[in-house]
Amino acid sequence: MRSDLDAALVGDFPYLFALRHQDADECSMSRGFACGDGWEGIIRRLAEKLEPLAASGALRATQVKEKFGTLRFLLARGCEPPDDLSRMIHEAEQESQRTCEECSAPGTMQRITGRRWWTLCDPCADREAKHR
């Protein structure tokens, strides 16, 4: 994700992403948001729901990334969100399966090269295939 989008998410949700500037050996979140710019809106909408609980110290994000073509949003050990928050995280991950990771247009899961899966719209998939 672009650095300006990364900084905006961390600035807007300082409790949820409090581990963003930890040592890399301590937390994967220190490496930033390991996904494309197109999922920033999904992450932002989810963070708006989680930030109030994070402000109470009840949870922290440890990793936000793409895996097998979908968003993964991981919380610190010991952070057991209530069922409704687990459902929200699951819904965001499901939304990422229909949203282009690069541009946020409607997308589908595709295999561009080897074993790597992506969720991309057709123009971004074509561009990625040419780039590979």
pLDDT in tens, 29-78: 878 899 999 999 999 999 999 999 899 877 889 889 999 999 999 888 66
What DSSP designation does 27 have?
-
Q: Does residue 79 have a pLDDT over 60? A: no
Tell me what pLDDT residue 74 has.
87
What rounded mean pLDDT belongs to the chain? 88
* Residue 90 · residue 49 · CB < 8 Å: no
Cα torsion 19, 78, 45, 37 to 10°: value is 50
Tell me what pLDDT residue 80 has.
57
Q: Does residue 28 have a pLDDT over 80? A: no
More confident residue, 112 or 126: 126
Task: Domain ranges for the chain, please list them.
Answer: 3-97
The one-letter code for the residue type at 115 is R
Nearest-CA neighbor of 38 among 131, 128, 129, 124? 124
Q: Provide the total of helices (H) and of strands (E) in the chain, helices listed first.
A: 4, 4
* Residue 8 · residue 37 · CB < 8 Å: no
More confident residue, 100 or 63: 100
Residues in Cβ contact with 82 at an 8 Å cutoff, skipping those fewer than 6 apart: none
